[in-house]
Structure 1
Amino acid sequence: MNGEKAYGITYCQVTLRVEKDGKAFRTQKRLRYQNKYLKVSGEWKIKAMSSDIIWRETHEVIQEV
Protein backbone atom coordinates (compact mmCIF):
# COMPACT_ATOMS: atom_id res chain seq x y z
CA MET A 1 0.00 0.00 0.00
CA ASN A 2 1.27 3.44 -0.87
CA GLY A 3 -1.02 6.25 0.29
CA GLU A 4 -4.04 6.17 -2.03
CA LYS A 5 -2.86 3.17 -4.08
CA ALA A 6 -2.57 -0.53 -3.26
CA TYR A 7 -1.82 -3.81 -4.99
CA GLY A 8 -3.15 -7.25 -4.09
CA ILE A 9 -3.08 -10.86 -5.22
CA THR A 10 -5.98 -13.25 -4.60
CA TYR A 11 -6.10 -16.98 -5.29
CA CYS A 12 -9.29 -18.86 -6.11
CA GLN A 13 -10.28 -22.46 -6.86
CA VAL A 14 -13.32 -23.15 -9.04
CA THR A 15 -15.07 -26.43 -9.82
CA LEU A 16 -17.33 -26.60 -12.87
CA ARG A 17 -19.54 -29.50 -13.89
CA VAL A 18 -20.82 -29.75 -17.46
CA GLU A 19 -22.53 -32.35 -19.60
CA LYS A 20 -21.45 -33.03 -23.16
CA ASP A 21 -22.79 -35.77 -25.42
CA GLY A 22 -24.58 -37.38 -22.47
CA LYS A 23 -21.43 -37.56 -20.33
CA ALA A 24 -20.68 -35.52 -17.21
CA PHE A 25 -17.32 -33.77 -16.80
CA ARG A 26 -15.77 -31.93 -13.87
CA THR A 27 -13.22 -29.21 -14.49
CA GLN A 28 -11.20 -27.74 -11.64
CA LYS A 29 -9.29 -24.50 -12.07
CA ARG A 30 -6.99 -22.50 -9.84
CA LEU A 31 -6.79 -18.83 -10.66
CA ARG A 32 -4.71 -15.88 -9.56
CA TYR A 33 -6.19 -12.37 -9.62
CA GLN A 34 -3.85 -9.39 -9.57
CA ASN A 35 -5.63 -6.19 -8.58
CA LYS A 36 -4.70 -2.55 -8.39
CA TYR A 37 -6.74 -0.48 -5.94
CA LEU A 38 -7.32 3.25 -5.62
CA LYS A 39 -8.77 5.03 -2.62
CA VAL A 40 -11.61 7.34 -3.73
CA SER A 41 -13.47 9.49 -1.20
CA GLY A 42 -12.24 7.25 1.63
CA GLU A 43 -13.31 3.98 -0.05
CA TRP A 44 -11.08 1.44 -1.79
CA LYS A 45 -12.08 0.74 -5.40
CA ILE A 46 -10.63 -1.73 -7.90
CA LYS A 47 -8.78 0.28 -10.54
CA ALA A 48 -7.57 -2.68 -12.65
CA MET A 49 -7.82 -6.46 -12.52
CA SER A 50 -6.08 -9.24 -14.39
CA SER A 51 -6.34 -12.99 -13.96
CA ASP A 52 -4.34 -16.07 -14.89
CA ILE A 53 -5.33 -19.73 -14.86
CA ILE A 54 -2.44 -21.33 -13.04
CA TRP A 55 -3.78 -24.90 -13.09
CA ARG A 56 -6.63 -26.71 -14.83
CA GLU A 57 -7.73 -30.33 -14.87
CA THR A 58 -10.78 -32.01 -16.45
CA HIS A 59 -12.10 -35.52 -15.72
CA GLU A 60 -15.13 -37.46 -16.79
CA VAL A 61 -17.45 -38.11 -13.86
CA ILE A 62 -18.22 -41.83 -13.59
CA GLN A 63 -21.44 -42.50 -11.69
CA GLU A 64 -22.04 -45.87 -10.11
CA VAL A 65 -25.53 -47.33 -10.46
Structure 2
Amino acid sequence: MKMENIMNYKIYLYVFFTFLSIYTFSAIDFSKFLRVNKNIEARIIVFILSFAFSYLVTNFIYDFINCTKIF
Protein backbone atom coordinates (compact mmCIF):
# COMPACT_ATOMS: atom_id res chain seq x y z
CA MET A 1 0.00 0.00 0.00
CA LYS A 2 1.11 3.51 -0.67
CA MET A 3 1.81 5.76 2.29
CA GLU A 4 -0.87 8.24 1.18
CA ASN A 5 -3.56 5.54 1.16
CA ILE A 6 -2.50 4.35 4.59
CA MET A 7 -2.70 7.84 6.08
CA ASN A 8 -6.14 8.42 4.55
CA TYR A 9 -7.25 5.09 5.97
CA LYS A 10 -6.01 6.01 9.45
CA ILE A 11 -7.66 9.44 9.32
CA TYR A 12 -11.01 7.86 8.50
CA LEU A 13 -10.57 5.42 11.37
CA TYR A 14 -9.64 8.22 13.78
CA VAL A 15 -12.72 10.24 12.86
CA PHE A 16 -15.05 7.25 13.01
CA PHE A 17 -13.83 6.00 16.37
CA THR A 18 -13.73 9.50 17.85
CA PHE A 19 -17.42 10.03 17.09
CA LEU A 20 -18.28 6.52 18.21
CA SER A 21 -16.44 6.91 21.50
CA ILE A 22 -17.96 10.35 22.19
CA TYR A 23 -21.37 8.79 21.65
CA THR A 24 -20.64 5.86 23.96
CA PHE A 25 -18.88 7.84 26.70
CA SER A 26 -21.71 10.37 26.79
CA ALA A 27 -23.93 7.59 28.17
CA ILE A 28 -21.80 7.54 31.34
CA ASP A 29 -22.71 10.17 33.91
CA PHE A 30 -19.29 11.54 34.85
CA SER A 31 -20.87 14.29 36.94
CA LYS A 32 -21.46 11.70 39.67
CA PHE A 33 -17.69 11.33 40.01
CA LEU A 34 -17.08 15.09 40.20
CA ARG A 35 -18.21 17.85 42.53
CA VAL A 36 -21.61 19.45 42.17
CA ASN A 37 -22.08 21.81 39.18
CA LYS A 38 -18.95 20.65 37.34
CA ASN A 39 -20.68 19.75 34.05
CA ILE A 40 -18.06 21.43 31.86
CA GLU A 41 -15.31 19.37 33.45
CA ALA A 42 -17.36 16.21 32.88
CA ARG A 43 -17.62 17.05 29.18
CA ILE A 44 -13.88 17.67 29.00
CA ILE A 45 -13.28 14.24 30.52
CA VAL A 46 -15.56 12.71 27.88
CA PHE A 47 -13.59 14.38 25.06
CA ILE A 48 -10.20 13.42 26.48
CA LEU A 49 -11.26 9.82 27.00
CA SER A 50 -12.78 9.75 23.51
CA PHE A 51 -9.59 10.90 21.84
CA ALA A 52 -7.48 8.46 23.85
CA PHE A 53 -9.83 5.57 23.11
CA SER A 54 -10.00 6.37 19.39
CA TYR A 55 -6.19 6.57 19.23
CA LEU A 56 -5.81 3.17 20.89
CA VAL A 57 -8.47 1.43 18.80
CA THR A 58 -7.28 2.93 15.52
CA ASN A 59 -3.69 1.90 16.13
CA PHE A 60 -4.79 -1.57 17.19
CA ILE A 61 -6.82 -2.08 14.01
CA TYR A 62 -4.07 -0.60 11.84
CA ASP A 63 -1.40 -2.84 13.39
CA PHE A 64 -3.68 -5.87 13.21
CA ILE A 65 -4.27 -5.31 9.50
CA ASN A 66 -0.56 -4.77 8.89
CA CYS A 67 0.45 -7.91 10.78
CA THR A 68 -2.11 -10.17 9.15
CA LYS A 69 -2.02 -8.55 5.68
CA ILE A 70 -5.78 -8.92 5.28
CA PHE A 71 -6.06 -6.09 2.76
Structure with higher strand content: 1
Structure with higher helix content: 2
Fold shared per TM-score above 0.5: no
The structure that has the greater radius of gyration is 1
With CA pairs under 8 Å and 6+ residues apart, which has the higher RCO, 1 or 2?
2
TM-score by length of 1: 0.30
